[in-house]
Amino acid sequence: MKTPRLPFRSNRTERPRQTVPDVHRGIVGALDWRFRRVRWTVRAIHAFTLAFLLVAGLGPLLWLAKSAITPTQDTLRMPLALWPHGFDLNYLTQAWSQTHIDRYFMNTVYMAIGSWATQLIVATTAGYALSILKPPGTRILTALVLATLFVPSIVLLVPLYLSIVDVPFLHIKLINTFWAVWLPYGASAFNVLLVKRFFDNLPSEVFEAARVDGAGPFRLFWSICLPMSRPILGVVSVFAVVASWKDFLWPLLVLPNPAVQPLSVRLPTLQPTTELNIFLAALAISTLIPIVIFLIFQRMFLSGGDVTGSVKG
């Protein structure tokens, strides 16, 4: 019995097959696929890639999960053995409560929520003003926002730090407060331009209809613009939360007080004083949220939405 829809499963025939469906036409085309040598080489490469990615991509995570619940001596002496002396879930709870990972975890959560909020507020209001309202000077402002994309972040590092120590003109001290992280995160040119471009492509008929019905600029923004831009707001939100969870250098500078530090800043200082199993349990806890976000919003990450954020490293 032949199953023509899945020719790469049934085969064992010597002669070239002609009924290769057009479901896949890429570099390895139907013509190449007729040759058994090609088929097996391609399959071997894919099998190898799958094995390689399982080890390289999932391996470290699984190892971390395992080591978070095994004794320190096992991890040091036999790092690749599977529970030689059993496992203990208590390491996770110890890390959570005794090394105060709970507090740093919550700090990270606050940091992420706040910088998500500022990024969303700045990006949507600015995108709306620059794309829909278009006051005089829109082009200059857009150019000024665009210009900051071309300035490497190192140029900002020192003067931004000084602005946090003493906010210019206002003379407020933001150091050791979450505002020091939240506010600078709002100045994301990428978000503003991304949202602006999305608003540019919204159908103008809707706005005109709403105006005819007497909607003012605030009504337009809240009831028309925002509901129509859910997809892009989702992208901005997810990347805002993940980026804030990953950030290290900036919170290191502006949050010197351990009581307000996030996980990323706290973990390196915990390393020398914490026992390895507890420390690895802490690392595992810190990885959990980003991995869960990734699993939920996989499609968003894998469609290449994170183009700029990613290459920054």
Partner 1 sequence: MDSPARLAVAPSGTRKRRGPLGWVSRDGLSSLLFLLPMLVIFGFFAWFPIVRDVVMSFQRTNLVDTPKFVGLDNFAAVLNDPLFGKSIGNTIYFSVLALVFGYPLPLILAVVISEARRFKGVLSALAYVPVVIPPVVSVLLWTVFYNASPTGLFNTVLSWVGIGAQPWLQNKDTVMPSIVIESTWANAGATMIIYIAALLSVPRELYDAASVDGASILQKIWHVTLPQLRGILLITMILQLIATAQVFTEPYLFTGGGPANSTMTVLFLIYHYAFQNSLGGDYGMAAALSIMLALFLAAFTAIYMWLTRSWSTNS
SS3 146: helix
Beta carbons within 10 angstroms of residue 305's beta carbon: 20
In angstroms, give the least distance from the CB of 66 to partner 1.
12
Q: Which stretch binds partner 1 (CB under 8 A): 11-19, 43-51, 82-90, 98-106?
A: 43-51
In angstroms, give the least distance from the CB of 229 to partner 1.
15
Best CA proximity match to 260, nearest among 127, 100, 77? 100
- Determine the Cα–Cα distance for residues 24 and 12; give it in Å rounded to an integer: 21
CB nearer to partner 1: give 68 or 94. 68
CB nearer to partner 1: give 55 or 259. 55
Burial class (CB in 10 A: 0-12, 13-18, 19+), 262: buried
Which tokens in the block code for residue 292?
Answer: 């869960």
In angstroms, give the least distance from the CB of 235 to partner 1.
14
Q: Which of residues 281-300 bind partner 1 (CB under 8 A)?
A: 283, 286-287, 290-291, 293-294, 298
CB nearer to partner 1: give 267 or 278. 267
Q: Which own/partner pairs from 269-273 qualify as long-range (CB within 8 Å, at least 24 positions apart)? A: 270/99
Among 78, 146, 259, 296, binds partner 1 (CB under 8 A): 78
Q: How many residues bind partner 1 (CB under 8 A)?
A: 114
In angstroms, give the least distance from the CB of 275 to partner 1.
13
Q: Which of residues 216-235 bind partner 1 (CB under 8 A)?
A: 216-218, 221
In angstroms, give the least distance from the CB of 13 to partner 1.
18
Question: What H or E segment, with its residue span, contains residue 161?
Answer: helix 153-165
CB nearer to partner 1: give 15 or 37. 37
- Determine the Cα–Cα distance for residues 255 and 63; give it in Å rounded to an integer: 31
Tell me if 113 contacts partner 1 by CB under 8 A.
no
**Residue pair 259/103 in contact by the 8 Å Cβ criterion:** yes
Best CA proximity match to 110, nearest among 285, 281, 296, 263? 263
Q: Which of residues 252-271 bind partner 1 (CB under 8 A)?
A: 253, 263-265, 267-268, 271
Q: Which of residues 114-173 bind partner 1 (CB under 8 A)?
A: 118, 121-122, 125-126, 128-130, 133-136, 141, 144-145, 148, 150-163, 165-168
Best CA proximity match to 228, nearest among 241, 210, 243? 210
Triad 265, 267, 270: Cα angle to 5°? 120
Burial class (CB in 10 A: 0-12, 13-18, 19+), 167: middle
Best CA proximity match to 109, nearest among 298, 242, 280? 242
Q: Which stretch binds partner 1 (CB under 8 A): 10-18, 89-97, 179-187, 229-237?
A: 179-187
Among 2, 5, 36, 58, binds partner 1 (CB under 8 A): 58
Site string for partner 1, 10-29 (x = CB under 8 A): --------------xxxxxx
Tell me if 200 contacts partner 1 by CB under 8 A.
no
Tell me if 311 contacts partner 1 by CB under 8 A.
yes
